[in-house]
Structure 1
């Protein structure tokens, strides 16, 4: 995941992620290969952006994710810090970027595995358009998102703007990022990344404060 996170850090330096140019959410082929939006899958209309609030927990019921969120910044190389390796079931949120619910993409990263077992985003590539994501925020409110795009992006022609830029102008969005593709034992790295895009479709006020 490190190479994509580094590119993400460099990209964040060069543009405002909340006002990025829109990238197509339609399935693509080749170096950026969509896992796919099945034809005819209805997606709900976007909800207007709401007041951004820092996340505390993220839940993706369709793949069994229910994980705490920790704030991450940029390291000395300008890359977003991954979650600590001793916390493989934790998701990292780029705290200097967009807060979930506000306009623009809020960025989350998580490990796919460790040397011995699956990690928090092990099943991320199995996510499908239409799946629901709930972000429980520190004030107890819940921002509800719907997945509209899943891509496996290879290293050779990684396009940070397509991966992290807004998919719909004026929307509140999420990006969930982890490793994907083939694991290279010699370099101890994967040759691609899974990037899941979702957009705000609902909100609940303070209903999960005790979660």
Structure 2
């Protein structure tokens, strides 16, 4: 088991969805996808720590589970996000970057386009991607058939 370091002060808030969660740095899994926090931490969000920091130019990537075997997890309601809603990210220095949701998309796993999901649409602009599972659950593969991807853009920073 690998240890997860909680990054003091880092959290994400989506008031319109009632989400407030701590954020921990994560890497990539064996398939090249961002490794979410372990299932034992269902209400924690993972940030791709080798990538863009929230509020910096480029796309900062945050991932969270939609559920566990027994209950909803941190991003259970993410598919209900709507354009115009606010997302606040408290950074390690205590400052808050506020993003505004631009769109919500569902990307099928069998045609997953990492560039479209993980890449910045405008490399000079601060972007945020919130990613979780979506579609239908396939018990044979023990995975969901799609990913829900919320894109947001920096609208206020200290």
| Superposed pair shares fold, TM > 0.5 | yes
How many aligned positions are there? 151
5+ unaligned residues in a row in structure 1: which ranges? Answer: 1-53, 205-211
Equivalent in the alignment of 1:192: 146
Equivalent in the alignment of 1:25: none
Which structure has more relative contact order (CA 8 Å, sep 6+)? It is 1
Query: Cα gap change, 1:126/1:59 in structure 2, threshold over 3 Å: closer, same or farther?
Result: same
5+ unaligned residues in a row in structure 2: which ranges? Answer: 1-7
Equivalent in the alignment of 1:165: 119
CA drift at 1:169: 4.2
CA drift at 1:82: 1.4
Equivalent in the alignment of 2:84: 130
Q: Secondary structure at the match of 1:118?
A: coil
Q: Runs ≥4 in structure 1, deviation > 3 angstroms?
A: 75-79
Match of 2:24 among 49, 62, 70: 70
CA drift at 1:77: 5.2
Q: Secondary structure at the match of 1:156?
A: helix
Q: Which moved more, 1:80-89 or 1:58-67?
A: 80-89
TM-score by length of 2: 0.90
Give the strand-richer structure, 1 or 2.
2
CA drift at 1:185: 1.7
CA distance in 2, matches of 1:134, 1:199: 11
Q: Is the 8 A contact 2:47 2:63 kept in 1?
A: yes
